[in-house]
Structure 1
C-alpha cells in the first residue's frame, strides 16, 4: 500500500488494568499520515470496534474506513484518525451500562459503565495520544457508538465533556421495553444540564421494540430544553426505513462525520413525513421533516415553521408535534431553510394506542430446540417446528429484522446465503406467516443431508 492511501492497524491483546481484561483495538490512519510527519489529526473513538471496519458472523460492518476515505477524497471532511475499540463479548452490556437510575438489574450483570469510561479516558486515549499524532483537545475528539454503544457514548459525553467534545449516539438504547407488559425500564440517567458538546443523535423508524423513537425523542426534547439548539450544536435524525443493524448505521455514518469534521453544506430538499390520520384520543404524533443537503448530509428539522389550512382541526409546534383540535381534514405545509413541502392529515375521534398482530414462523426440522425465536417480536414455541401467536403492539410501529435464534444465529436462504431483511408495520388485524429455509450456523452434516435430498 503506498503512502497516499489510508491504513488500518490492528493492536491485539490491549490490556485494561481498570477492567482486568483485554481486547483488540483497530486504528485507521489517513492518507497523509505517512508522508506529512508534522501534521496532527482529529480523532474519532468508536464502540463495538470489531464491526467498524469488518464484518463477522455476528454482525455486518459500518465500513467507516471506506466512508472516511470517500469524504476525505471529496474534500468534505478533514483527514481524521479513527480508533475502533472492540467490545469483550461476555462483558459488552455490563461495560456499556452506567449505574441504573432506578437500581434495576435488567441483564443479570453488574454495570461497569463507570469503569469502561475510566478505561477509555485514562488508558485508551493516553495510549493513542502517545503513539499517534493526534489533536488532543476536546473540540477535536469525538466519541460515537450505536445501540448500547450509543448509550455509553451519551453517558461518557456528559460525564467527560472536557475530554470528548463531539458525541454521536446512533439508536441509543435508553429504554428496555418489556414486550409482554409494554413497561418502559430506563437504563440511563437523562442529563438536564447543558455541556459544551456538539451532539448527533438519531433513531430508525423500523427498530421495533429494540429502540423506540418516543424514548430517543424524549431525550432530544430534554436536550433542547437544556439549551441545545437544533441545527447548531444538536442534530437529530429520525431515519425513515431504517432498522437496528450495522447496515443502517453504515448508510448514515457520513452525516455525523460531516457534522463533526467537515461542512454540512446547503439544504436542497425536504421530505415531510407524518401520519395520514391521528385521533382526538390516541397516541401522540409528530411530523418528521427530513432536510437533505448538497453534501449528502441529512437531519430532522426540530425548529421549523408550519402553515395549516385549518388550524381549528390541528395545530403544529415548531418541533413538529401535532395537536389535534377537532374532527376534520387539513393540509400542513413545512416552511424552513428556504424549502417547503406539504401533506394532508385527517383527525378522527379515536385511535387505539395498540393493535393486534398475529405471526407464525415455521423452522427447519434440524433446528436446535429453543423456547423463543426473534422476528422483530419474541415468538414462543407453540408446536413442533412452529413459533408464534397473537401480540398486542403499538400502532404503526415498524420492525425490520432477520428471524434468529439469538445473536449470530439468523436465517439464510436454502443455500446458506444472506437474505434481505424482513419488514412489517403494525396495523390492526395484520397476519404474517414466515418460513425459515436454513440457519447460518447449520452444521456440516446438515448441509450434506440437504444436498443428498436434493
Structure 2
C-alpha cells in the first residue's frame, strides 16, 4: 500500500497554532488534525484524502490508547468546501471532552472519490441490479476499510483496535454503507452510526419505491444509532428508516440500550443538519448520555379513520444535550375511545373526535392534541414553479425538493402529487455543487415547505454557483 502525505505544513496542525477549518479561523490549542492527501487503495485502484483527528492528550500522554471513530465523506467531517458544509466533528469532540461528557477518541475521516461515491457506498441490492446504472462496489469499499485503512491507522497511531472501541458512522449513502458494513462485520465495528440512511430510492414522477439495500433480520452484537430528519422530502423518508428500526427491534435490539433511534424535527438532508446532532451518537458511543430533563411529543394534528397510518414522535432531551425518540413509551388518551397509541408510538384511530394524548416515559411527560376525522388523503397536490436567470445553461430539469421539468425557456415546474405531511428543506440546484446563490454570490437560506394541503409555490433564482469552475453563472 502506498501512502503519500504532502503539503503537511498546510494542514498538519501543531499545538497552539491558529488553523483554518470550515471556512473560519479556529484556535485549537491541544488537538491535532493531519491530512494524507493521496491515500492509495490497491483494492479500489484509486487515491483519496484521509484526515485524522488526534485528541488533546495524544502528545502529552505517550502511553495512552484511544477508541477510533471512522467516518465516510471525510472531506466534510472537519471542514467545508463549495459542495457542502462541515460537520465540525473536531470542535464537537473537543467540547464534549472538555466538559467531561465523553472520553478522548481518534477520528478518521475517509474522503469519498467524487465519481465513485455512490458505487462505493452501495452493496448488492435485494433485486440483484446495480444502483443508478453504476456497478456496486460496496463489498470492495468495505475491504478497503478493513484491509487498508484500519490496519494503517492501528499501525501508525495508538488505538484501541478491538470492536468495543471501534465505531463507523456516515450520513445518507454513507449511513447506508455504515449499516451494511456493521452487520457484515460486527466483529470489527462494534458501534454503527447511520444518520439519514438512504435505504430506498423513490422515483418522484411515479412515487415508485425501490429498496436498494438488504434489511438485516439477525441480531448482532452492535450498538446502533439511527436517525432521520422529518424534512428530507423524497431524499430519505421517515417511514423507510422507521421500518428498518422496527425490524431491528423485532430481531432483539432494545430501544434505549443497544439501539438509539431519533426523528429530528425540522431537519433536512445536509451537513449542517448532521452537525447539529452529531453530539448525540458521540455521547452514546463514547460518553455519558446523562439524565432526562424534558420531553416534547410531536405528531400529526389530524389523522383519519381511513388514510395513511401515523405515529407519534416523543423526543426526550437530556441534561448532556443528548436526545432520542422513545420507542418504548407509555401513552394515555384522555378519551381512549377516539384513539389509542402503542408503546412504539403508532396510532390506532377508533372514531371521530378530538382528544389529548399524554406521553409518560424516562421520568418526563409531554402532551399532544389530536383530532380524528373520517378520511385523510395519502397525497396532496403541490404546484411549484421556478424562474431561473438569463444565461442559465439549458437542462431538462432542476431540483427544488422535487425534480422540476423544463416548462419553457427560463421556467421549470408543474403539478405533483406529494405524500401528505412530507416536509422539504432545500436549495434550488441544477445538480451537485450547482446551487442557487443571491445576486452577490452569497449563500441563500434553505427554502422549506410542508405538503399539508394543496398549495402553489413560486420561486425565483437570482444566480448560480458552479463549483466545477468556481464562478457565478448569471
* TM beyond 0.5: yes
**Cα displacement (A) at 1:324:** 0.6
Structure 2 matches for 1:282-297, cutoff 5 A? Answer: 282-297=307-322
Specify which of 127, 136, 139 is matched with residue 114 of structure 1: 139
Q: Does the alignment pair 1:144 with 2:144?
A: no
Counterpart contact for 1:356–1:427, Cα < 8 Å: no
Corresponding residue number in structure 2 for 1:134: 159
Counterpart contact for 1:357–1:427, Cα < 8 Å: no
Corresponding residue number in structure 2 for 1:276: 301
Counterpart contact for 2:335–2:355, Cα < 8 Å: yes
How far apart, in 1, do the equivalents of 2:472 and 2:106 lie? 45
How far apart, in 1, do the equivalents of 2:302 and 2:113 lie? 46
Structure 2 matches for 1:248-397, cutoff 5 A? Answer: 248-397=273-422
Paired residues in the alignment total: 448
Q: Does the alignment pair 1:96 with 2:130?
A: no
Structure 1: gaps (5+ residues) = none
Specify which of 256, 263, 267 is matched with residue 231 of structure 1: 256
Deviation per residue, 1:303-322 (Å, 9 max, x gap): 00001111111110000000
TM-score, normalization: structure 1?
A: 0.97
Corresponding residue number in structure 2 for 1:24: 49
Corresponding residue number in structure 2 for 1:2: 15
| 1:440 counterpart SS class | strand
Query: Residues 305 and 362 from structure 1, CA distance in 2 versus in 1: closer, same or farther, beyond 3 angstroms?
Result: same
**Cα displacement (A) at 1:93:** 0.5
How far apart, in 1, do the equivalents of 2:63 and 2:452 lie? 60
How far apart, in 2, do the equivalents of 1:172 and 1:303 lie? 22
Specify which of 50, 73, 78 is matched with residue 75 of structure 2: 50
How far apart, in 1, do the equivalents of 2:404 and 2:471 lie? 27
Corresponding residue number in structure 2 for 1:190: 215
**Cα displacement (A) at 1:260:** 0.3
Specify which of 194, 215, 220 is matched with residue 245 of structure 2: 220
**Cα displacement (A) at 1:106:** 3.5
How far apart, in 1, do the equivalents of 2:308 and 2:318 lie? 32
Query: Residues 335 and 382 from structure 1, CA distance in 2 versus in 1: closer, same or farther, beyond 3 angstroms?
Result: same
**Cα displacement (A) at 1:327:** 1.2
Deviation per residue, 1:112-136 (Å, 9 max, x gap): 1001011101110000000000001
How far apart, in 1, do the equivalents of 2:212 and 2:454 lie? 32
Counterpart contact for 1:15–1:23, Cα < 8 Å: yes
Deviation per residue, 1:326-381 (Å, 9 max, x gap): 11112100011111111111111101100000000000101001111100000001
How far apart, in 1, do the equivalents of 2:285 and 2:131 lie? 34
How far apart, in 1, do the equivalents of 2:151 and 2:32 lie? 21
**Cα displacement (A) at 1:440:** 1.4
Corresponding residue number in structure 1 for 2:92: 67
How far apart, in 1, do the equivalents of 2:390 and 2:427 lie? 19
Counterpart contact for 1:316–1:322, Cα < 8 Å: yes
Corresponding residue number in structure 2 for 1:157: 182
Counterpart contact for 1:373–1:380, Cα < 8 Å: yes
How far apart, in 1, do the equivalents of 2:365 and 2:63 lie? 47
How far apart, in 2, do the equivalents of 1:386 and 1:83 lie? 44
**Cα displacement (A) at 1:444:** 8.9
How far apart, in 2, do the equivalents of 1:205 and 1:173 lie? 14
Name segments (4+ residues, structure 1) moved above 6 Å: 442-447
Specify which of 445, 450, 454 is matched with residue 420 of structure 1: 445
**Cα displacement (A) at 1:441:** 2.4
Corresponding residue number in structure 1 for 2:205: 180
Corresponding residue number in structure 2 for 1:199: 224
How far apart, in 2, do the equivalents of 1:96 and 1:54 lie? 21
Deviation per residue, 1:195-246 (Å, 9 max, x gap): 0000000000000000000000000000000111101110000000000000
Structure 2 matches for 1:77-88, cutoff 5 A? Answer: 77-88=102-113
Q: Which moved more, 1:229-238 or 1:423-432?
A: 423-432
How far apart, in 1, do the equivalents of 2:290 and 2:88 lie? 23
